[in-house]
Structures are given as structure tokens and as C-alpha cells.
């Protein structure tokens, strides 16, 4: 940790976070009503003039938790927001690599109820900067900003302490997620065992001789359960293909091609076409099998264009 950095950060404690901000609108019934609708607060002292007049308040009051709402700057803050210790603090932390931010606490104290017509101004100061802390999110500094809310007479009506953690995002792990292996079962074990040996096998009905793929127990032509295999030449052509874009999965490099390959023997199988720009793949393109070692555990029969 750099003590020089902490000294600079702590040098900003007590300074205005930015210029005072005067609320766009006075405390008003419409905003109170919308707030109560949104949070489901049916207390009549906020919206019913008769009930409110009969209450200890003698008039409509604003829900205390609306305090910050009155001085929200909107989605596009005024350009003057770039001034002040807050911007300086953030720039120092960004420069030191603490580039991520998360809000951690908000505490509010209410000095008095707000009435319709009150005009608020919010003034914020940097109240505290913690030494570098180790957290589950990463190493960083907690920054506490105190905002005092004052009315049209300059009297404090409430105070808010807002704490953020400005932290270094953990370095991305580059460990590659392994490509899931196709499931092996009693019906297709011969196919994958063939691939392990560098052979592309096609199931053949022993009764009628029809070839079939993907592997399954019964011949769709004669319903025989007897079968053996023939070894494919591994040559064929692209019958159809797509280039998937979404959703992306972490174990593939994009873009890539998923193709239906028609083998010379007549059966088709689904695979990837590799060793070519995905956008150069064409239907009818001659391809041949490449037994590709994807990782230590997995070999797949992928296809590449036949070299002339
Ligand atoms: Zn058959």
C-alpha cells in the first residue's frame, strides 16, 4: 500500500465534495404522492390534507425517507459536478488502479419533518477515507461522504452518510473452461471408442445393410436389432451449416461453424468445420475428418476443407 496515496486521499477529508446543489423543485404533493404509491405507504399524513391537519403535524408532511429524493440531480448531472474533492478523490483512486465502485452503506438522520414548499439545498463533504482494506470484492478504500440538507432558512433538516468501496477489480482468470464431452452410453460407445482410435464408424444393420447415424438400437428400415459397423473414409461435404453468435459459451472460440456433414457413405453427422475462416464455408464444400484433440481428455471428429 502506498502511504503517499493515503496521505493525498486524507488531505481531501473535510473538503466539499462538490458545489452545493439546490433542489430543482420545492417539496411538493405530487412527488410525495408518487413516492407513497411506489412504496405502498398509505399513511394519510402524507397525502390527505384533512387527516394531516388533524394530526400532530397540523399539515401534510413528506415521508422522511424522501430526504435525498428532493435533491436528486437527475440522470444527466449538471456539468459543474466535475469540480470538487469528490472528483479529485475518484481520479486519484482510478489512477492507483482502484477503478471499481460499490455502494456499501447509507445512514440518514432527520432533524425535522419537511413541509410542502420547503426548498432544500444539499451540501456534501468528504468525511472519511479508510486505509486500504482487503475485502471479498478486492482491495480498496472506503469513502464516506456526509451530506447536510438545509432548508430555505439555512437550517439543517437532515443528514446523510453515504459510504462506498472504491476497489481494484480482481484480475480476470484466463483459465479455459474445458469443452464438455459428448455423453457416452451403451448405444453410442462404439462410435466414441472408434474416434478414440482415429476411426469414424457408421452403424450398419446386419439384416438389411442400411447405414444409420446417430447410433440407435433398432434399424428404422427393417426393425432389426442386429448391427455391425463400417469404417467411413472420413470424406464428405458440407450439407448445411450455421455460425452461432448467441448465447456465447466459455469453452468455444467465436466465431465458429456448426455443420451437417454428408459423408460419402450417405449418412450425415453434426460437427464443426475448422481450419477455415467461418465466413468462407459454403454448402457443398468438400471436407474431411480431422481427429482433433480438444484437451487431454477429449478427441472429437471435426472436419476441415479438403486440400486441393
Ligand atoms: Zn435393417
Q: How many whole angstroms from 207 Cα to the centroid of ligand 1?
A: 5
User: What integer pLDDT is reported at residue 136 of this predicted model?
Assistant: 86
Q: Which of 291, 284, 107 is nearest to 199 (CA)?
A: 291
Q: Are 101 and 165 in contact (CB under 8 A)?
A: yes
Mean pLDDT of the chain: 93
Share of the chain residues as helix, strand and coil, in percent rounded to the nearest 5: 20, 30, 50
Q: How many whole angstroms from 233 Cα to the centroid of ligand 1?
A: 22
Q: Which domains does the chain have, with CATH numbers?
A: 3-167 (3.10.129.10), 189-305 (no CATH)
Q: Are 245 and 256 in contact (CB under 8 A)?
A: no
Q: How many whole angstroms from 212 Cα to the centroid of ligand 1?
A: 9
The arithmetic mean of pLDDT across residues 218-247, rounded, is: 96
Q: How many whole angstroms from 201 Cα to the centroid of ligand 1?
A: 17
156 upstream amide cis, omega within 30 of 0 = no
pLDDT tens for each residue of 163-221 = 999 999 877 766 678 899 999 999 999 999 999 999 999 999 999 999 999 999 999 99
Confidence of residue 83 (pLDDT cuts 50, 70, 90): confident
Q: Are 97 and 132 in contact (CB under 8 A)?
A: no
Confidence of residue 98 (pLDDT cuts 50, 70, 90): very high
User: What integer pLDDT is reported at residue 24 of this predicted model?
Assistant: 94
What is the tally of helices (H) and strands (E) in the chain? Answer: 5, 14
Using DSSP, state whether 191 is helix, strand or coil: helix
Q: How many whole angstroms from 266 Cα to the centroid of ligand 1?
A: 15
The arithmetic mean of pLDDT across residues 114-127, rounded, is: 96
Q: Are 85 and 17 in contact (CB under 8 A)?
A: yes
The arithmetic mean of pLDDT across residues 26-39, rounded, is: 97
Its pTM stands at: 0.56
Q: Which of 20, 22, 44, 21 is nearest to 33 (CA)?
A: 44
pLDDT tens for each residue of 248-300 = 888 899 999 999 999 999 999 999 999 999 999 999 999 999 999 988 889 99
Q: Are 213 and 267 in contact (CB under 8 A)?
A: yes
Amino acid at each position: 500500500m502506498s502511504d503517499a496515496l493515503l496521505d493525498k486521499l486524507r488531505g481531501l477529508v473535510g473538503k466539499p465534495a462538490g458545489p452545493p446543489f439546490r433542489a430543482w423543485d420545492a417539496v411538493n404533493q405530487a412527488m410525495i404522492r408518487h413516492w407513497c404509491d411506489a412504496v405502498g405507504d398509505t399513511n394519510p399524513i402524507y397525502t390527505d390534507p384533512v387527516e394531516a391537519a388533524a394530526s400532530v403535524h397540523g399539515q401534510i408532511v413528506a415521508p422522511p425517507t424522501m430526504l435525498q429524493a428532493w435533491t436528486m440531480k437527475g440522470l444527466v448531472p449538471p456539468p459543474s459536478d466535475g469540480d470538487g474533492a469528490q472528483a479529485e478523490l475518484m481520479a486519484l483512486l482510478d489512477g492507483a488502479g482502484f477503478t471499481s465502485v460499490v455502494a456499501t452503506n447509507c445512514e440518514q438522520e432527520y432533524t425535522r419533518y419537511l413541509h410542502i414548499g420547503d426548498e432544500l439545498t444539499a451540501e456534501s463533504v468528504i468525511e472519511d477515507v479508510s486505509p486500504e482494506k482487503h475485502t471479498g470484492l478486492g482491495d480498496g478504500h472506503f469513502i464516506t461522504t456526509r451530506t447536510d440538507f438545509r432548508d430555505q432558512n439555512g437550517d439543517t433538516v437532515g443528514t446523510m452518510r453515504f459510504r462506498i468501496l472504491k476497489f481494484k477489480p480482481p484480475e480476470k482468470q484466463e483459465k479455459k473452461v474445458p469443452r464438455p464431452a459428448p455423453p457416452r452410453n451403451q448405444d453410442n460407445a462404439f462410435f466414441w471408442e472408434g474416434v478414440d482410435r482415429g476411426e469414424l464408424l457408421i452403424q450398419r444393420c446386419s439384416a438389411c445393410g442400411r447405414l444409420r447415424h446417430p447410433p440407435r438400437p433398432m434399424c428404422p428400415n427393417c426393425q432389426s436389432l442386429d448391427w455391425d459397423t463400417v469404417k467411413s473414409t472420413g470424406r464428405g461435404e458440407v450439407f448445411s451449416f450455421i455460425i452461432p453468435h448467441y448465447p456465447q459459451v466459455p469453452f468455444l472460440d467465436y466465431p465458429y461453424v456448426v455443420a451437417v456433414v454428408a459423408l460419402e457413405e450417405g449418412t450425415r453427422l453434426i460437427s464443426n468445420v475448422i481450419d477455415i475462416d467461418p465466413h468462407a464455408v459454403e454448402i457443398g464444400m468438400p471436407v474431411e475428418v480431422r481427429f482433433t484433440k480438444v484437451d487431454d481428455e477429449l478427441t472429437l471428429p471435426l472436419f476441415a476443407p479438403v486440400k486441393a
